[in-house]
Chain A
Amino acid sequence: MIKFLFAGVLLLAAGSVVAQETQSFTDDLGRQVAVPVAPQRIAALHDIELTVPLLELGAPVIASHARPGADGAQTIRSSLLLTGQDLAPGQIADLGNNPIDIEALAALEPDLIITTVWQKAPVEQLELIAPTIVIDTQSGVRDDYALYDLLAGITGTGDRLATLKARYQAQIEQLRRVADVNRTVSTFHAQNGKLSVWNPYGAFGKILLDAGFSFPPVIADMAAGTSEQLSAEVLPELDADVIFVSYRGDEGQTPADAHAELETTLPGYCAQLVACQQGRMVLLPREEGWATSYTGLTMVAYAITTALGSLDFRSFN
């Protein structure tokens, strides 16, 4: 009996050795890192750029960078809306912001740390705790959604990613079928007296581009992946057949706040926009469309499909 028990323990030990099998990975700083083939305890050091995608891929995230939410409590930005998960004791631990609390991370004994060039916690300290991969999310090394391919490769969740991509493609096909993609669309929001414009504007912009819609020249001429803070005088140039304006739902804002911010930026703004005058300005909460998230794409694609199907385009026909 004791022999069997001993053999069982040996088998379990052998199993854990197999679980720690590593593969070589070259990160965005050119470092060669030996990472576990199937990591079981991942610490992600950027909430919206790493934690949310990893959770969507079904990777075992045990700790995350977080930031204060609208109520001042620490939160993984956008995660509750997109993944249904947030910081929770015993499930996903709070590591603090920037820099993260290195001791809190060490206490959790992760087997893989994924960080970005934005995080100030020194890589030299992080790699004392666990193999550490640094990802460049700031200088346009790769498209936002190419990050999913990278993370799926690291965490062995390629099958899940294929499912997410297939679902998104089906939704884009539906949008093309329902809406007239020859119409022009515009996406922006007002903030601090300026008009914030991106090319593309998060998930909103990506979906509209992927479906085949076109933007006004002021947006289309911007370099891909860049943003600009435009003066209120440029507002008429942002007019289009349909305008999408977003507001910060995570901060307790409502569509009325988006109107108020535009009114503050340019009093009587609606008179400058034909789409606004004819009731084709759609207001959407920003969080679902701001994270790099396939769930976010799903939600926003559905909202856009619904909105475009409800708007009155008779004045065009």
Chain B
Amino acid sequence: MSMVSEKGHIILRTSRQGLALRLPVWGMAASALLVCGLVLLFAASMVIGSYDIDLPTLLATLSGETVSKSIDNVVWQFRMPRALVAMLVGAMMACSGAALQNVTGNSLADPSLVGISQGAALTVVSAIVVFPGLSPDVRPLLAFVGALCVASLVQALSAGQRGPSPVRFILIGIGLSAFISSLTSAMLTYGNIDRVMSALAWLAGGVNAATWRDVFILSSWSIVLLAVLLLLSRSMAALRMGEATAIGLGAEVRLVRLGLVAIGVGLAAVSTAIVGPIGFVGLVAPHAARRLAHTGPALHLVLTALCGAFLVAAADLIGRAAFAPIQLPAGLLTALLGVPIFIALLRRSARAQY
């Protein structure tokens, strides 16, 4: 194994030079910084909260000792699954946004903005209200079907005679999203109260309701979906240069597009199925990652996932601790950050179009 340094990159080669890896130094450094930031944020999430737990007690509890049943509950049942779910959901929503932006060639594509999360929400709420006996394990699958239908519909409706337009895509997405949300509201209005209560708790953007079961479901799905997304990253690089160039470079464009849509929708659907819609993470995180370091698609995806995880975990921590006992939902804070960025990107996109 040899290592060569070259203009901001490190090149790792195996001894017979059969395999070489070219890594951008700043990209790697940014990833390492974000990982450290996430570890610190996780530690802060364990320490900070309305239930006052001193550090020795916290460490004793984390080592498996039961100081009191209440402290066990707060650390193991409330704080830890909540922090992990926030990070996993953030990473998944962020990568969903990155995949959708790549496949649509639209820097404004965000699963919650164009109705994909709302499509997932509608199918899950319908299932909870109409088929209350259905196992919660089916929810990610139902969410995927709902989200996929909406994604296909938005794509089909926004494909005009002159080809797809980023602004049209967003406007149709926003319209469809509002329509789907009204259907969800109607379902909640006319549903049986105990089923509606269950649906509402889920729909509230329930990072606050996170359980270990949610951690397990999210981590299982994210391992599969993010791994496939990373495998597709080479073709994503080719797609960035346009369809004709991508075909010229030997990429299976149709297959890659299909795969990216499925993965993007799948990531958004699963996270929505667990915590409800959380907006703007898929929009903000890919742009933040690009600003942090210009890298290839694979490392950009890693940076995007880390940015998304940091964003939602920080939003949740601030939301639950900054104004306690008043609890602000993580989605509110991500929207506060996301809306100005969305407007700036929309203006830039509109200027580029005309």
How many contacts between A and B, using CB within 8 angstroms?
A: 78
Q: Does A129 contact B (CB under 8 A)?
A: yes
Q: Which stretch in A95-103, A170-178, A202-210, A269-277 binds the other chain? A: A95-103
* Interface set, chain B 252-288, CB cutoff 8 A to A: none
Q: Does B211 contact A (CB under 8 A)?
A: yes
**In the complex, A202→B50 CA distance in Å?**
36
Q: Does B320 contact A (CB under 8 A)?
A: yes
A27: nearest residue on chain B (CB-CB)?
Answer: B194
Interface size class of B (residues with CB under 8 A): 20 to 34
**In the complex, A121→B327 CA distance in Å?**
10
Q: Does A236 contact B (CB under 8 A)?
A: no
Q: Does A107 contact B (CB under 8 A)?
A: yes
A103 contacts B200, CB within 8 Å?
no
A125 contacts B209, CB within 8 Å?
yes
B326 contacts A120, CB within 8 Å?
no
- Complex contacts, A56 vs chain B, CB 8 Å: none
**In the complex, A138→B192 CA distance in Å?**
11
A107 contacts B51, CB within 8 Å?
yes
Q: Does B206 contact A (CB under 8 A)?
A: yes
A120 contacts B325, CB within 8 Å?
no
**In the complex, A182→B211 CA distance in Å?**
59
**In the complex, A40→B283 CA distance in Å?**
50
Q: Does A111 contact B (CB under 8 A)?
A: no
> Which of B74, B204, B206, B209 is within 8 Å of A103, CB to CB?
B74
Give a binary string over B198-209; 1 marks a CB under 8 Å from any A CB, 0 the rest: 001100101011
User: How far is the CB of A4 from the nearest CB of chain B, in Å?
Assistant: 31
Q: Does A128 contact B (CB under 8 A)?
A: yes
**In the complex, A138→B78 CA distance in Å?**
28
A106 contacts B325, CB within 8 Å?
no
A100 contacts B51, CB within 8 Å?
no
- Complex contacts, B78 vs chain A, CB 8 Å: 102-103, 106, 125
- Complex contacts, B57 vs chain A, CB 8 Å: none
B51 contacts A120, CB within 8 Å?
no
A101 contacts B193, CB within 8 Å?
no
A103 contacts B50, CB within 8 Å?
yes
Q: List 26 A-B contacts (CB under 8 A).
A: A28-B193, A28-B194, A29-B197, A96-B325, A97-B327, A99-B204, A100-B325, A101-B320, A101-B326, A103-B51, A103-B74, A103-B324, A104-B51, A104-B325, A106-B73, A107-B51, A117-B193, A117-B196, A120-B200, A120-B201, A120-B206, A121-B208, A122-B206, A124-B209, A124-B211, A129-B73
Interfacial residues, chain B to chain A (CB-CB below 8 A): 49-52, 70, 73-74, 77-79, 193-194, 196-197, 200-201, 204, 206, 208-209, 211, 320, 324-327
Interfacial residues, chain A to chain B (CB-CB below 8 A): 28-30, 74, 94-97, 99-104, 106-107, 109, 117, 120-122, 124-125, 128-129, 134, 136, 138-139, 141
